[in-house]
Amino acid sequence: MATIDPDRVLADLRELARFGAYETGVHRPTFSPDDVAARHWFVGKLEEAGLEGVIDGIGSVFGLSRGDGPKVLTGSHLESQNHAGWLDGALGMVYGLEAARAIGRGVDVAGFCDEEGHFGSFIGSRSFTGLLEEEEIDGLRNRYDGRPLRDALAAAGLAGRPRMRVEPGRYRGFVEAHIEQGDTLESEALGIGVVSAIVAIWQYRIVAEGEQNHAGTTSMARRRDAGLAITRLLGEIDRRFPEFAGPRTVWTCGRVTFEPGAPSIIPGRAEALFQFRDTDPAVLDRLDGELRRLVEEANRGHCPVTLDMIGQSRPAKMNDRLCGLVAEAAEAHAPGGWTRMPSGAGHDAQYLARVMPAAMLFVPSIGGISHHWTENTSDEDIVLGARVYCDAIERILDEDAGEP
């Protein structure tokens, strides 16, 4: 059985965290100078490990193993959210590197570009799995400063490079490790989460149209207050959704806007961004139906309310056989100290799962903190995660090839 080097794993993670270091975390947005430097540094580490290093035409980093025999694809992403944590993405990258080093055969490593969505939605893993057209790339811009993705690729010296595409039949599967980003593991004092599925996210824009008017001279009876219409609808969602939700469903209104937004003007238009997430298509359909019913009910009030679905991803079920092997490895290194759980966040594995068997494992996030520079995981949990991860990959490589 391959043996990992805990000190090497921790040292590589710490060295990677020096690119864009910010407080105790990192600020390494996609194609920032720190991010580009980190990609080149990581390719160097992959080559040191004996892999063939590549940065492709969308900015993804690959380390390809040489020789014949079964292969497993590993990895995650290298860029960070703004002013965020040192392990989000980086953990899965260094685990992949360590697996390649410790096992010494059949481990490819991929760092899918821009999982964090500075320019687009999962452009690295979508490009690799054939779900990203050139026309979409032409239109993408940095969501903070508007810089075109094409310019960023050119500045990073990647313009015109071919984009890597998955080689059919090459892999037994894809395994991604990631921090949990929630507190399920910590609160149950567990070391490993074996991911059963990645949630689908269904997103909506809800708009109420009222009549902008003077907040002093317009009687309550005569008002058509778009802000109040949205407030009432969000209140109904809050009251009704628990009845239709599954045990792990989450729903969120992250933004509300009243127009014109002045203290003495009755809002003439109000907008809310609303989303829910679940792994079960039946639950998603039920929630969508209830939302549509509540909007219809709201439409019987004074302000017309419209509902636009602006995003609808699919739940991505992880592969049972691979999950079983990850679970075996977890039980071997942490008997009774692991659980199966869904992922409430999106990951590149949801796109890889469309073209090969995929599995994910989580390590605990201290305090459940994510997307903040205080995000952290104990060294002990990082090392346990690396052991389970390498063991699982070795089990996949060593398994008699069966149906995935």
Dist. CA 303–CA 211, nearest whole Å? 8
| Cβ atoms of 319 and 172 closer than 8 Å | no
Instruction: Tell me the C-alpha to C-alpha distance, in Å, between residue 319 and each of 60, 74, 172.
Output: 24, 15, 11
CA distance to 106, 146, 331, 341, 391, per residue, from 362 (Å): 23, 33, 14, 9, 15
Measured from the CB atom, is 200 or 392 closer to a copy of itself?
A: 200
CB 75 within 8 A of CB 92: yes
Cα–Cα distances in Å, from 174 out to 52, 125, 334, 346? Answer: 18, 12, 22, 15
DSSP 151-199: HHHHHTT-TTPPPP---TT--SEEEEEEE-SSSHHHHTT-SEEEEEEEP
Q: Which is nearer to a copy of itself, 65 or 370 (CB)?
A: 370
Which residues are near a copy of itself by CB under 8 A?
180-184, 199, 201, 203, 212-220, 222, 225, 227-228, 231-232, 234-235, 238, 242, 245, 248-258, 261-267, 273, 275, 277, 343-346, 368, 370-372
Residue ranges for the known binding site are: 77, 88, 116, 178, 371
- The least distance separating a copy of itself from the CB of residue 264, rounded to whole angstroms, comes to 6
The answer to whether the peptide bond before residue 260 is cis (omega within 30 degrees of 0) is: yes
Shortest distance in whole angstroms from residue 382 CB to a copy of itself: 18
Which parts are annotated binding residues for Zn(2+)?
77, 88, 116, 178, 371
**Tokens 């104990």 appear where?**
378
Question: Which secondary-structure segment (H or E) carries 295?
Answer: helix 281-298
Cβ proximity to a copy of itself: between 191 and 346 the closer is 346
Nearest approach in angstroms of CB 278 to a copy of itself is 10
The nearer residue to a copy of itself, 319 or 370, going by C-beta atoms, is 370
Q: Least distance to a copy of itself from the beta carbon of 317, Å? A: 17
- Least separation in angstroms between residue 319's CB and a copy of itself is 21
Is the Cβ of residue 270 or residue 327 nearer to a copy of itself in the bound state?
270
φ, ψ dihedrals at 156, nearest 5°: -85, 0
Nearer to a copy of itself, 375 or 394 (CB): 375
Nearest approach, Cβ of residue 384 and a copy of itself (Å): 20
- Burial category of 114 from C-beta neighbours within 10 Å (exposed 0-12, middle 13-18, buried 19 and up): buried
